[in-house]
Amino acid sequence: MVKVKHNQLKILCSNCSLRELCLPVGLNPGEFDQLNAVIRQSRSLKKGEYLFCAGDEFTSLFAIRTGFFKTNIASHDGRDQVTGFFMSGELIGMDGISNNIHSCNAVALEDSEVCELPFDRLEEIGQEIPSLQRHFMRLMSSEIVRDQNVMLLLGNMKAEERLAAFLMNLSHRLHSRGFASNEFILRMSREEIGSYLGLKLETVSRTMSKFQQSGLIKVDHKHIVLLKPFELNKMISNNQVA
Amino acid sequence: MVKVKHNQLKILCSNCSLRELCLPVGLNPGEFDQLNAVIRQSRSLKKGEYLFCAGDEFTSLFAIRTGFFKTNIASHDGRDQVTGFFMSGELIGMDGISNNIHSCNAVALEDSEVCELPFDRLEEIGQEIPSLQRHFMRLMSSEIVRDQNVMLLLGNMKAEERLAAFLMNLSHRLHSRGFASNEFILRMSREEIGSYLGLKLETVSRTMSKFQQSGLIKVDHKHIVLLKPFELNKMISNNQVA
DNA sequence: CGGGTCTTTGAAGATAGTCAATTTAGGTGG
DNA sequence: CCACCTAAATTGACTATCTTCAAAGACCCG
């Protein structure tokens, strides 16, 4: 492995366990090297630290190696809309491409590590590696599709359906990373869940209690067990959330 | 101009009045030619016609030359979320890139004309014209930012704020196309507005009546006059919608 | 000109929000 | 390691907003 200062190992996409979820999907060995050359020293963030803020100049995308992030838009009067939760293997910062300024904040919800991908370098190797370019566009498009599904959730669903969709979405994403999908720790507060789902924190709390009373889930603060994931799915399959 | 069958004039980006809003922003004459070569015969749609449907194979993006579209996601039980309204100069279909299948329907809300941009060809010339590639990514990113602002609207705003934001958004987009920005015809029904804003059609109707009674707007069915756009803006500036 | 769709408006009802009190957890420093 | 303190979560009671149900009126297209 390539050594760098402070005895840290240089991050290599080719070794990364997330390579099949992240940007380098489908690259050959030579292309891995090119992508590796672009990645800056990975950066560590403590819980609560900002990766970037709304208004910051956009220079890089960030691939999450470990940890958990939220993005949010803050409004003048202090209200705040969480626009997404991001976990390992996901790319964050694509909002900034449109006008070279970030339109949202990105905050670490636990101690995290990210790979920094300077966007101008990424554009350059995108010109050289069409499959990378294509995959990157796919990722942006997925973000659009994801956002549109959130619009469906916010526009059409009741509180219970929203929470069920939220839990099942987390479950699926954890599953595709090889984690237990029916038992996990929430990294965000009730208020952050509520903000994402267009609900107040009290409603989130009440709905969780209701699910627990119905035997659908087990709630121990941030520790969630999905007891009847199939039932939860039925609550939302009427509304087709991908 | 280049003639094609049926005596129709071949659409040329270089002549198009929308070139500064659409994909070719910032191209030089030679690059215009390359882009022109990629554009298929423009396609006309009658009001109500589908440009593409959810589940269709994705092959092309579409640039709107004239007319007005909505995109929507249909749910199993017949409910339907409008995810966007699109007017001339805007690009539609980017949802399909992620997995080569469209995730939403696109419907013409009035007789319309679109330029078809086969995506594989677009990728090819993107490799040759970095500024085009970059601009295309900017457009995708703008779509992400737009969707996140809709999330803010759906998650945080009251009915009056949502409608005010909707009207001002239309106003701004019409203005940047050189149309009157304080007087326009709505191309969509109250139900479609409601679906987009996460409200029922009755609520949209009531809120419009309320705005009219307050002297903010004049409503004559689909004909809207913004009498106090500044006041409308104040209703939403507290919530910072871009 | 007429059928059907879209829109408006009213009244009643449901869902989620607000306000408030209590409990519990987690972090900090002694 | 414990105690304290602050922040987060739960729960209840009440309220506001939006939805639902219903009926009447207006427009549009053939």
Provide the CATH number for the domain around residue A186.
1.10.10.10
A232 within some domain: yes
Same domain, B166 and B220: yes
List of A residues 146-165 with CB within 7 A of strand C: 158-160
Confidence of residue A9 (pLDDT cuts 50, 70, 90): low
CA distance B9 to chain A (A): 32
Per mean pLDDT, which range of A8-12, A73-77, A151-155, B152-156 is the poorest? A8-12
Query: B105 and B178: one domain?
Result: no
**Domain assignment of residue B142, yes or no:** no
The residues with which A64 forms a beta bridge, in sequence order, are A114
Q: Which nucleotides in chain D lie less than 7 Å from some protein C-beta?
A: 8-13, 17-22, 27-28
In a 10 Å sphere around its CB, with 0-12 CB exposed, 13-18 middle and 19+ buried, how is residue B242 labelled? exposed
Give the residue from A134, A165, A185 where a domain finishes.
A134
Q: Does a structural domain hold residue B1?
A: no
Q: Strand locations in A76-145, DSSP E?
A: 80-87, 91-92, 105-108, 112-118
Is A73 near chain B, with CB under 8 Å?
Answer: yes
Q: Could you check: is the Cβ of residue A182 within 7 Å of any atom of nucleic acid strand D? A: no
For residue B138, the chain A residues in CB contact (below 8 A) are 97-99
Domains contained in chain A, number: 2
**Are B239 and A79 an interchain contact pair (Cβ–Cβ within 8 Å)?**
yes
| Chain A contact present for B226, CB below 8 A | no
Residues A61 and A113 grouped into a single domain: yes
Mean of per-residue pLDDT scores for chain B: 92
Q: How far is the CA of B197 from the C1' of D15 (A)?
A: 24
* Tens digit of each residue's pLDDT (9 = 90 or more) over A138-195: 999 999 999 999 999 999 999 999 999 999 999 999 999 999 999 999 999 999 999 9
A52 lies in the same domain as A115: yes
Query: B192: which nucleotide lies closest, measuring CA to C1'?
Result: C6
Is pLDDT at B42 greater than 90 in this prediction? Answer: no
| In chain B, % of residues over pLDDT 70 | 93
Which chain B residues are closer than 8 Å to A130 by Cβ?
123, 127
Supply the range of the domain harboring residue B197: 157-239
Same domain assignment for residues B87 and B181: no
Is the domain of B110 the same as that of B172?
Answer: no
* % of residues, chain B, pLDDT over 90: 85
The predicted pLDDT at position B76 comes to 65
Instruction: Measuring from the CA of residue B203 to each C1' atom, give the nucleotide at the shortest distance.
Output: D18
Q: What's the CA B234/C1' C4 distance, rounded, in angstroms?
A: 40
Is the same domain home to B165 and B96?
A: no
In this predicted structure, the answer to whether residue A4 has a pLDDT above a threshold of 50 is no
How far apart, in whole angstroms, are the C-alpha atoms of residue A83 and residue B25? 29
Give B99's contacts in chain A (Cβ within 8 Å). Answer: 138, 142
DSSP letters, chain B, are: --B-GGGPBPP-GGG-TTTTTSTTTT--HHHHHHHHHH-EEEEEE-TT-EEE-TTSBP-EEEEEEESEEEEEEE-TTS-EEEEEEEETT-EE-GGGGTTTB--SEEEESSSEEEEEEEHHHHHHHHHH-HHHHHHHHHHHHHHHHHHHHHHHHHHH--HHHHHHHHHHHHHHHHHHTTS-SSEEE--S-HHHHHHHHT--HHHHHHHHHHHHHTTSEEEETTEEEES-HHHHHHHHHTT---
The shortest CB-CB distance from B73 to any of A77, A94, A148 is to A148
Where does the pLDDT of residue A210 fall: very low under 50, low under 70, confident under 90, or very high at 90 and above? very high
CA A88 → C1' C16, Å?
Answer: 33
**A164 & A92 share domain:** no
Residue A165 and residue A123 share a domain: no
- A142 and A173 in contact (C-beta within 8 Å)? no
Angle between helices B130-156 and B29-38 (to 10 degrees): 70
Q: Do B155 and A77 touch (CB under 8 A)?
A: no
- Return the closest nucleotide (C1') to the Cα of B201: C7
Indicate yes or no: CB of B77 within 8 angstroms of CB of A238: yes
Domain for residue B55, yes or no? yes
Residue B1 has a pLDDT of: 47
CB within 8 Å of chain B, chain A residues 124-143? 126-127, 130, 133-134, 137-143
Share of chain A above pLDDT 70, in %: 93
Is residue B163 a part of any domain in this protein? Answer: yes
Asked whether residue B36 is assigned to any structural domain, the reply reads yes
DSSP label of A101: B
* Identity of the residue in B77, B127, B141 whose CB atom sits nearest the CB atom of A94: B141
Instruction: Report the percent of chain A where pLDDT is more than 90.
Output: 83
The answer to whether residues A29 and A73 belong to one domain is yes
**Averaged pLDDT for residues B38-61:** 94
Please check the confidence at residue B4 and state whether its pLDDT lies above 50. Answer: no
Q: Residues 86-115, chain B: which have Cβ within 8 Å of A?
A: 94-99, 103-104
Give the one of B138, B147, B195 whose C-beta lies nearest to A144's C-beta: B147
- Mean pLDDT of chain A, nearest integer: 91
Q: Which residue among B134, B169, B188 closes a domain?
A: B134
Q: A126 and A199 share a domain?
A: no
Task: State the pLDDT at residue A41.
Answer: 78
pLDDT digits (tens, 9 = 90+) for A69-114: 999 998 766 678 999 999 999 999 999 999 999 999 999 999 999 9
pLDDT at residue A129 greater than cutoff 50: yes
Give per-residue pLDDT as tens, B14-33: 889 999 999 989 899 999 99
Answer whether residue A147 is part of any domain: no
| Arithmetic mean of pLDDT, A33-59 | 92
Q: What is the pTM of this model?
A: 0.93
Higher pLDDT, B192 or B10: B192
Task: pLDDT band for A8, please (50, 70, 90 cuts).
Answer: low
Q: Could you tell me if A103 and A183 lie in one domain?
A: no
Which of B134, B166, B195 lies at the terminal end of a domain, its last residue?
A: B134
Name the nt closest to A221 by C-alpha to C1': D9
B133 vs A24 pLDDT, higher one:
B133
Residue B207 lies in a domain: yes
- CATH assignment of the domain containing B112: 2.60.120.10
The answer, yes or no, to whether residue A7 has pLDDT greater than 70, is no
